[in-house]
Amino acid sequence: MQSLSLGRITSSFSAPITEEHAFAVVHECLRTLKEASNKRIDAAAAEATASPSSPSRPRLLTVDSTGDIFIHREGRVHERTFLQLQQQEEEERDEAGER
């Protein structure tokens, strides 16, 4: 597993994060959101010049709770916090098919 949600991490420790950790998470979220936005802009530019069969740009997601923030095993906020990645879409389709 490459990442865990912040909600899962905090529930595992049965305690909230410290104020310092909260500021660090907010900082990392903003950095990751900026990178995600840049990827969408780059994808939009590539989409304008590419063939119609090329993959579409990733969807930008909103964060509503700590369960939506994914922390990479290296400690940074994972890009899947803000981007609907193609792999995620495939996993969601597979899960929907199993139900």
Cα within 13 Å of Cα(72), Cβ side: 11
CA nearest to 6, candidates 62, 92, 81, 59: 81
Task: Kindly list the averaged pLDDT for each block of 10 residues, start to end, along the chain of length 99.
Answer: 89 91 95 89 72 65 93 92 69 50
For residues 10 and 15, give the distance between their C-alpha atoms in angstroms, rounded to a whole number: 6
Locus of tokens 């995600």: 36
Domain-wise residue ranges, the chain: 3-98
Q: Is the pTM of this model over 0.85?
A: no
Predicted pLDDT of residue 86: 61
